Amino acid sequence: MNDATVSVERKVARRRRVFRLLSVLWNGLGILVALTLPVVAGGLGGAEMPASVRYALGLGAAGAYLVSAVTVRRVRHLPEPNLPAILVALVCILYVLGMLVAFGLGGTVPHGMLLLLAAAIIFFVGLWIVAIRRVVFVRYLVIPVGIGSELAEVNPIGLQLDTAVEPLSEEGVRAYDGVVYDDQAPLDRTWFDFVATCRFAQVPLRRAQEVHEAVTGRVSLRHLSEGFVERIPQYKIYDTVKRSLDLVGILVTLPIMIVLGSAAVIAIRIESPGRAVFSQERIGLGNRQFTLYKLRSMFNSAEEAGPRFAGEDDCRVTWVGAILRRFRIDEIPQIWNILRGEMSWIGPRPEQPRFVQEFDRQIAYYRYRHLVRPGISGWAQVRQGYAADVTSTRGKLEYDLYYLKHRSFWLDLLIAFKTLGAIVTGFGAR
């Protein structure tokens, strides 16, 4: 078999082997640098740095680098345009945690050495991110039929999507890592023959629905089939471990939540009369109704005319309430809902029964979002923000269905980081 007829599958497999080799060499070098820098610096500084400090510092730095490298590799495929910046922030946080371990094991560490190790780790992980984007670069040819026509509007990281103007020859199609087509849309004879040509050329065929999900982070309702719910994986181990992590998260954050919550309650009671904490009925896992608790951010008579969505500059929101909503402090009482197992830290936001009934009548597949526990923050909240009508709720549902289908610890980690960013910027607050 000559070079012109080498299958693309073999080319992609070779690229993956090169990537794995680079990952082993690069991560090994990064850990070696993290371990040896304290030793070298200690030798140059004489007795200035005790051996126990050098050992603890090297261990903390190497651990931070290793966890960073693994995390970068696991989350690199997630559909997030700001992923490089998030990864750099994650690396810095992991480095700080590693240094806390070093402080705990070895005591005082010179500031200059901390800066040197931080620069080395960020440099290596930064180059690793660049290497991932270069080596794992994929080029697809898209047949512009059905959902494939929507892929021309996206520009994902590490993936080039070329729209096919006309069918290519076997030689031309081999220049791509795969051909994307909508297997649920009717193809005319020209494109049908082109799909056959791709099979003869041994070029991988990719479902446009899956590629669309991977690059947009949402499941298109317009192209969703009735068998969608049957293709949703069962994550029993993940759900069990996530429940345990929810409880651990409560223990870790409880002190600061008590302080913030107490201050917020005092401010609410000073500004306006009425109870500081109010409750609402919401729909959660399995379409079951539960009572959700929030700090009151509106005047006490805000819902006398019935429940309705909050609008921009809503006159019902108090001055203190606007601050609470801006920094999501009004959600603190929902820790009680997490403790009771009615909610999670991460998941689709629960809605009131009246809105659920309305959306269930107007939006297909809406009830599927109740197959997982609702959360304080979710994929739809950090990607789209607040939804106050049927149109925006339809877009929100597409993100919720993506989370339902692809939920994982790594996606939860990305949502947690983006939630912190939303708290700082006020994204999605009403």
Task: Name the 3-class secondary structure at 135.
Answer: helix
DSSP secondary structure, 239-304, as one string: HHHHHHHHHHHHHHHHHHHHHHHHHHHHHHHHHSSS-SEEEEEEE-GGG-EEEEEEE--B-TTTTT
| Confidence at residue 348, expressed as pLDDT on a 0 to 100 scale | 95
pLDDT at 295: 93
pLDDT value, residue 37: 62
Structure tokens at 111: 């500031």
Does residue 132 contact residue 76 with C-beta atoms inside 8 Å?
yes
296-to-109, 321, 356 alpha-carbon distances in Å: 46, 7, 22
Whole-prediction pTM? 0.80
Report pLDDT for 374: 96
pLDDT for res 209: 87
pLDDT for 2: 38
Task: Match domain 138-216 to its CATH number in 3.30.300, 3.30.420, 3.40.50, 1.10.3470.
Answer: 3.40.50
Written as one string, the DSSP assignment of 180-212 is EE-TTSPP-HHHHHHHHHHHHTT--EEEHHHHH
What residue ranges do the domains of the chain occupy?
3-135, 138-216, 236-425
Would you write out the chain's pLDDT as a tens digit for each of its 430 residues? 334 344 555 665 666 666 667 666 666 666 666 666 665 655 544 445 666 666 666 676 677 777 777 777 777 677 776 666 676 677 677 667 766 666 665 555 555 555 556 666 666 666 666 555 555 567 888 998 888 888 877 766 567 788 888 888 888 888 888 899 988 888 889 999 999 988 888 888 988 888 888 888 889 888 777 667 777 777 888 999 999 999 999 999 999 999 999 999 999 999 888 889 989 999 999 999 999 999 998 877 666 556 666 656 667 788 898 889 888 999 999 999 999 999 999 999 999 999 999 999 999 899 999 999 999 999 999 998 877 788 889 999 999 999 999 999 989 988 998 898 888 877 666 5
* pLDDT value of position 268: 92
* Contact status, residue 232 vs residue 371, Cβ threshold 8 Å: yes
- Measure the CA–CA gap between 338 and 375, rounded to whole angstroms: 8
139-155: burial string, b at 16+ Cβ within 10 Å, e else: ebbbbbbbbbebbeeee
pLDDT for position 164: 87
Residues 267/273, Cβ–Cβ less than 8 Å? no
Q: Residue 64 is inside which H or E element, if any?
A: helix 51-75
pLDDT at residue 306, as a whole number: 61
Query: What six digits make up the tokens of 267?
Result: 């401010």
**418 is written with which tokens?**
């983006």
